[in-house]
Amino acid sequence: MEPETAKEILQALDDLLEQERSALLTGDLDQMAVLLDRKTVLIDALNTVEPEHQPDLDEIRGKVRRNQTLLDGALQGIRQVAGRMAALRQLRHSFDTYDESGRRHTIEGAVTRQVEKRA
């Protein structure tokens, strides 16, 4: 593959990494799946470039690391939200309290599902 084509691939990958960063910062996780497909195609194309024609990838590596850090943070936030939602669901069924001696007491929640019909 010609050096000019390698530069075009690298520029397209650079642009895509900026789009990915923007999607991560705005929380547009749906866009991440679309970008992943395009990124895979570009990386595969870059892997076909002859080693002597490969451009310097240091800047791209830095952007990939930056985006990976952002993605890790987003995943950590999603896990925390999921944990908090599970805790809130648990509160619907029971609530644990502790007395002055440290013994746990469970207060059962009564979930009533009634439909009131009015005329």
Does 85 fall in a domain?
Answer: yes
CB-CB contact of 61 with 16 (8 Å): no
Could you tell me the pLDDT band of residue 11, with boundaries at 50, 70 and 90? very high
Q: Which residue has the higher pLDDT, 112 or 18?
A: 18
d(CA 115, CA 118): 10
pLDDT tens track for 56-95:
788 888 999 999 999 999 999 999 999 999 888 877 777 7
- What pLDDT, on the 0 to 100 scale, is given for residue 1? 45
Q: Is residue 116 part of a domain?
A: no
Q: Say which residues have a Cβ less than 8 Å from residue 104's Cβ, sequence separation at least 6.
A: 96, 97, 98
The pLDDT assigned to 62 comes to 93
Whether residue 32 is predicted with pLDDT greater than 70 in this model: the reply is yes
Number of domains in the chain: 1
* Local confidence band at 17 (pLDDT 50, 70, 90 cut-offs): very high
Helix (H) or strand (E) holding 94: strand 94-98
Whether 76 is covered by a domain: the verdict is yes
> Does this model's pTM top 0.85?
no
Would you say residue 115 lies in a domain?
no
* 11 within a domain of the structure (yes/no): yes
The answer to whether position 112 is within a domain reads no
The length of the chain in residues reads 119
The reply to whether 52 falls in a domain is yes
pLDDT for 115 equals 75
Tell me, what amino acid is at 68? Q
Q: Is residue 107 part of a domain?
A: no
What is the span of the domain harbouring residue 57? 3-91
